[in-house]
Amino acid sequence: MTDFKAKEILLNAFDMNCVGHINHGLWTHPRDESHRFNELSYWTEQAKTLENGLFDGLFIADITGVYDVYQNGIDLTLKESIQLPSHDPSTLISAMAAVTQNLSFGVTVNLSYEHPYQFARRFASLDHLTQGRIGWNIVTGYLDSAERLIGQKGLKDHDARYEQAEEFLELCYKYWEGSWENDAVKKDKARRVFTDPSKVHTIHHQGKYYQSEGVFQVSPSVQRTPTLFQAGASPKGMQFATRHAECVFIGGDRPEKIREQVKKIRALAEQQGRSENDIKVFVGITVVVAETHDLAVQKLNEYRQYASPEAGLAHYASSTGIDLSKFADDEAIPYQKSNSIVSITEKFKEQQITKNDLKAQHVLGGRYPLIVGSGEEVAEYLIHLLDETDIDGFNLTRTVTPESHHDFIRLVIPELQQRGRYKTAYKTGSLRNKIFNRGDQLPQQHPVQAFRCSPYNNSKNLTTIEEITA
Ligand SMILES: Cc1cc2nc3c(=O)[nH]c(=O)nc-3n(C[C@H](O)[C@H](O)[C@H](O)COP(=O)(O)O)c2cc1C
């Protein structure tokens, strides 16, 4: 119980390689600089700021496709820059890693449109270059527009996407941890042996979705498997997340619901042979903070003049696959089955929700819980929420950028530190070690273990792994 109370808050900045990420409309604020998202200096400055604030990571969301459900088109999406334009997140990482030492990077990649080989190679390369500061947010997509862009026929069935994800992960584990032994690379100039051939193995995979045969092209990196993030919330999604993920995002609802969700996540992890502490749970939040409570309210009111709740609804429409423009403001939105984000559409089954309700929720153009107050008030609330719900940390959205990060670092972080609930220095090692404090690589109770080559594992599980015969 004492440990639980003393838990230090983990913190990621939640962002995307675009103008409007979550809090839509704020790009029009005179002090907002998110229109500079296509400049490298925008990101290197942000990385340095976050490292000064001892943030654990910069978590970068991504979508394949565009938001075209609202009003059956993309006019509002384009005008308000609702995640359009948006650029590839992995292109930012090396530059930000070069100006920081400890900040980590969680990068979203939709596995539905990648071959595991190319993806695994890119992320293993990033793990090398960042010295183990890379994480992967595993997503399977929820947009029909993506399918059309890629030339497919429409979204695969929701649960089938998770089945494919399971096989994608299995194959990635083989590449990352089953092909090269830890000490394969010798770099021995005198003996002319860069890599010992007896320590590199062929992987074989003949699955329903993927086939692969050969050796992985990347030597072992610090973490081997990048730190795994996931946000599945449907029954199938939670099963997947609790089997594989080390960090799980959940939607920030009422504290009782969050607590219930966290309990389920930890119980499911245990059922799958992992420990309840093998998963860190994060909740998304938006914060408006100032020197005093009144000044924070004043700041919120000022921001509200620029925010666009309607743009928030257009974003929400694509998350659910429901064109919300068709409904009157006070009409209950009927539940309809869709292949998008199941956990969100289910809410229309459980509750009567109108567009007015959604607009009220999207005060700053986004649907994350909004916390407004002085540094002390915000810090107290975050600690309270963490202790009440047993979560581990927060994904902090941006509002007016980069002002909101500066405000949080100046006003909230010191209050958390004074209460002993936030680090005063970074831990050493990889992202995984910083978060779990037990080494750079996944523990043995993780499903990756079945795909590891020696010296990790000499068990019979490895019938698929063969030595290269020179
Ligand atoms: C904090 C958070 C961040 C997410 N980021 C992304 C993202 O960047 N890209 C994406 O395609 N889906 C993203 N999702 C959606 C999830 O991948 C997933 O589809 C969703 O949580 C619903 O899970 P379900 O399909 O199991 O209901 C995010 C979800 C949450 C809660």
Nearest one of 84, 235, 220, 80 to 146, comparing CA atoms = 84
Say how far apart CA 250 and CA 231 lie, in whole Å. 6
Which atom of ligand 1 is least distant from the CA of 319? 15
Amino acid residing at 73: G
What pLDDT does 456 receive? 53
Say how far apart CA 259 and CA 261 lie, in whole Å. 5
ipTM comes to: 0.95
Residues with CB under 6 A from ligand 1: 61-63, 108, 110, 139, 141-142, 231-234, 237, 249, 251, 284, 341-343, 395
pTM, 2 dp: 0.94
Q: How many CB atoms lie within 10 A of CB 461?
A: 13
Q: How far away, in angstroms, is 233 Cα from ligand 1 center?
A: 8
| CA triple 75-81-82, angle to 5 deg | 90
What pLDDT does 155 receive? 66
- H or E element at residue 51: helix 40-52
Consecutive 10-residue averages of pLDDT for the chain (470 residues):
70 98 98 98 98 98 96 97 98 98 98 96 98 97 89 78 96 98 97 97 96 98 98 92 97 90 96 95 98 98 97 94 92 82 76 91 95 98 97 98 98 98 98 97 97 63 33
Q: How far away, in angstroms, is 132 Cα from ligand 1 center?
A: 24
Say how far apart CA 361 and CA 309 lie, in whole Å. 8
Cβ atoms 57, 106 nearer than 8 A: yes
Cβ atoms 223, 436 nearer than 8 A: no
What pLDDT does 162 receive? 94
What pLDDT does 467 receive? 36
